[in-house]
Amino acid sequence: MQERYVAHALLYILLVINIAQVLATVLLNQWNNRFYTALQQRAEATFWIELQYFTVVAFLWVILAVYELYLTQWTQMRWRRWMTGRLTGHWLDGGGHYRMRLQGNQADNPDQRIAEDVRMFTENTLALMIRFFSAILSLYAFVLILWGLSASFKYNVLGFDLESIPGYLVYAALFVAVFGTVCAHLIGRRLIGINFLRQRYEADFRYSLVRVRENDEQIALLKGEAAEAQGLARRFANVVANWFDYMKYTKRLTWFTSFVNQASVIFPFILLAPAYFSGAVQLGSLTQTAGAFGRVESALMIFTNLYASLADYKSVVDRLTGFERSAAGARTTPPAAIVTERNGDHLKLADLSVTLPDGRQLVSAPDLTVKPGDRVLVTGPSGSGKSTLFRAIAGIWPHGSGTVVSPSGADIMLLPQRPYFPVASLRDAVTYPSERGAYSDAEIVEALEAMNLAALTTRLDEEAAWHQTLSGGEQQRLALARALLSKPDWLFLDEATAAIDETGEAALYKALCDRLPNATIVSIGHRSTLVNFHDRRVHLVKDETGLHVAADAPLMPLVKG
């Protein structure tokens, strides 16, 4: 609320500054007449007075220019801060970012749209708004002046007295401007699409660079540098090709706008010269009128002169609205989707059929119940859809049909095979995503020790890219420590101990069962030793239609998929 008042106030101040600026140009336009008339008449006293007048107006002008820029920048950042927060929210809320990718209607490079496009949008909106506002103001002011001046410029074309048309100079300026705008649009409209792609290719390129940085170890191990260099060069080739397109159309547009701008310098003089040479008007009046004509013309030519910026702006707006559309699409669940309810006593999968985003059947669970306190092992060949079944249970996988009823009010935690850690202090990494300070250091140290990570307990304050420095097994231990801290009622482990040796795994499961005695644990795993920590097994078997069906199977013997 308060934010909005400040924004409005800033905007009004900016508009007032612009009004003052237009006033100053009007004053200077009138001064121009007096000054040159004084020069022509060799009136030295008037000359000095007019110089003082100019100094005062110019000084005010400088103050206005400084504060206009300062307040504009301030407003831009406030606005950008607001908009960034809003878009980040739309992107992240309710797992939208994940579903945007799943549904395949993701706008390309959301990161770039949030970072770059928002910046360009706020900067350009304000700059363009102010340009248009001051163009309208100066149009108003100088049309009045030009209208009045038109009458004194006698001009006879083919026996027709132009000055008999009231304000004919205004019409002349209007004609030039309409002509210029139409031509600029015809020449430059391709720039909109080109700019859109430019944003995209630049972001693609940057993202590839980030991927190399993130996966440096695998690339170094595989000696994938040459392949990466090629991939990067390919992406950059898009940037270059697009740039040549951009250059081509910008060049055409620049040919035109520069030509028009230069022509508009002499155009009023050609129009006004006959009247001057006939002696009907003084030099001062000539320069004032030429100045006023130029102002009117350039205000009317704003579309022509800003065409490149407007094309840029349009592409940024397209990217942002595309992002919003995609985010809104991700928030609305598809008509045929897995229904998740959180009102049961047990976890119950009823007629659940999980499909891939393209509609292919993956796994089904006609009737499966897990009671609180159960220890269930889920097995099945790799690629059979175990992880996707977990995603459906967690409620982030909408594709399919049927119902997932999960226990009401229960804390559910799912640990994937490759845990995620923010680049932050170890304390924040292990307690993620809890709020900072949710756990005391003693609790954290205790959990780390229970997961056999005593060596890390002295490094709680250390900031590092933990996903790159810790070994796979250590990362999985750290993720389990996270589970120990948050004490979920339902813990789903998706091969969450697969990188740990069998003895270590046994110790971890024992620690988990000891510390979370009431928790329901559902694990996915391939190791036969895992049966020791579970009392039920659900196996994914292929039925005659090729679909994997989750059904209870004997705990022993564990059939390898």
Binding residues vs ligand ADP (CB under 6 A): 102, 356-357, 362, 380, 382-388
102 binds, among ligand ADP, Mg ion, none (CB under 5 to 8 A by kind): ligand ADP
Q: Smallest distance, Å, CB 422 to ligand ADP? A: 23
Asked whether the beta carbons of 339 and 403 are under 8 A apart, the reply is yes
How far apart, in whole angstroms, are the C-alpha atoms of residue 511 and residue 505? 10
Shortest Å distance, C-beta 469 to Mg ion: 25
Buried/exposed code over 206-223 (b: 16+ C-beta within 10 A; e: otherwise):
bebeeebeeeeeebeeee
Cα radius of gyration rounded to whole Å, the chain: 36
- The residue at minimum Cβ distance from ligand ADP is 387
Which of residues 106 and 387 has its CB atom nearest to Mg ion in the complex?
A: 387
Half-sphere exposure of 52 (CA within 13 A, CB side): 5
Report the nearest approach of ligand ADP to the CB of residue 389 (Å).
Answer: 7
Minimum distance from residue 380 beta carbon to ligand ADP (Å): 6
In whole angstroms, the minimum distance from the beta carbon of 399 to Mg ion comes to 16
Choosing among ligand ADP, Mg ion, none, which partner's interface includes residue 507 (Cβ < 5 to 8 Å by kind)? none
Q: List the single partner that 287 binds among Mg ion, ligand ADP, none, CB under 5 to 8 Å by kind.
A: none
Among ligand ADP, Mg ion, none, the one that 356 touches (CB under a kind-dependent 5 to 8 A) is ligand ADP
CB of 385 to ligand ADP, least distance (A): 4
C-beta of 180 vs 380, nearer to Mg ion: 380
The residue among 191 and 530 lying less far from Mg ion, judged by its C-beta, is 530
Show contacts with Mg ion in window 377-416 (CB under 5 A).
387
525 interface partner picked from ligand ADP, Mg ion, none, CB below 5 to 8 A per type = none
What one-character DSSP code corresponds to residue 232? H
Q: Which helix (H) or strand (E) holds 349?
A: strand 347-355
Least distance (Å) from Mg ion to the CB of residue 384?
9
Task: Answer with the entry of Mg ion, ligand ADP, none that 385 interacts with (C-beta below 5 to 8 A by kind).
Answer: ligand ADP
Of 483, 527, 167, 175, which is closest to residue 378 (Cα–Cα)?
Answer: 527
- Does 523 help bind Mg ion (rule: CB under 5 A)? no
Cα–Cα distance list, 436 to 430, 432, 482, 514 (Å): 11, 8, 13, 26
C-beta of 383 vs 433, nearer to ligand ADP = 383
Nearer Cβ to ligand ADP (101/515): 101
Reading the block at residue 201, the tokens are 């290719």
What is the Cα 454 distance to its own chain's centre? 41
Q: Which does 288 bind (CB under 5 to 8 A by kind): Mg ion, ligand ADP, none?
A: none
Min CB(216)–ligand ADP separation in Å: 25
Choosing among ligand ADP, Mg ion, none, which partner's interface includes residue 384 (Cβ < 5 to 8 Å by kind)? ligand ADP
Dihedral angle, C-alpha 256, 257, 258, 260, nearest 10 °: 90
How many other C-beta atoms are found inside a 10 Å radius of the C-beta of residue 39?
15
Q: Can you tell me the distance from the alpha carbon of 23 to that of 145, in angstroms, rounded to the nearest whole number? A: 13
**From Mg ion, ligand ADP, none, which one binds at residue 167 (CB under 5 to 8 Å depending on kind)?**
none
Q: Which is nearer to ligand ADP, 33 or 387 (CB)?
A: 387
Q: Count the neighbouring beta carbons within 10 Å of the beta carbon of residue 485.
A: 18
Q: Which two tokens stand for residue 555?
A: 């705990």
Phi-psi region of 17 (alpha: psi -120 to 50; beta: other; left: phi over 0): alpha
Please report the DSSP string for 302-342 in residue order: HHHHTHHHHHHHHHHHHHHHHHHHHHHHHHSPPSSB-EEEE
| Nearest CB to ligand ADP, comparing residues 258 and 333 | 333
Strand 361-370 vs strand 347-355: parallel, antiparallel, or unpaired?
antiparallel
- CB nearer to Mg ion: pick between 29 and 387: 387
Q: Please, what is the minimum distance in Å from the beta carbon of residue 199 to ligand ADP?
A: 26
Closest approach of ligand ADP to the CB of residue 65, in Å? 54
Q: Look at residues 395, 391, 396, 413 and name the one whose alpha carbon lies nearest to residue 405.
A: 395
Least distance between ligand ADP and beta carbon 138 (Å) = 56
CA distance 169 to 67: 35
SS (H, E, C) 470-497: CCHHHHHHHHHHHHHHHCCCEEEEECCC
Between 194 and 389, CB nearer to ligand ADP: 389
Of 135 and 524, the one with the shorter C-beta distance to ligand ADP is: 524
Residue with smaller CB distance to ligand ADP, 382 or 532: 382
Residue 362 binds which one of Mg ion, ligand ADP, none, with CB within 5 to 8 A depending on kind? Answer: ligand ADP
Q: Which residues of 497-510 are buried (b: 16+ CB within 10 A; e: fewer)?
A: bbbbeeebbbebbe
Nearest-approach distance from CB 362 to Mg ion, in angstroms: 12
Residue 400 interacts, among ligand ADP, Mg ion, none and using kind-specific CB cut-offs from 5 to 8 Å, with none
Residue with the shortest CB distance to Mg ion: 387
Neighbouring-strand partners of residue 537: 377, 553
Query: CA-based angle 33:36:39, to the nearest 5?
Result: 150
Pick one of ligand ADP, Mg ion, none as the site partner of residue 94 (Cβ within 5 to 8 A by kind). Answer: none
Task: Say which residue the tokens 């013997």 belong to.
Answer: 557
Q: How many residues of this chain interact with Mg ion, rule: CB under 5 A?
A: 1
Q: Kindly list the residues in this chain that would bind Mg ion in the complex (CB under 5 A).
A: 387
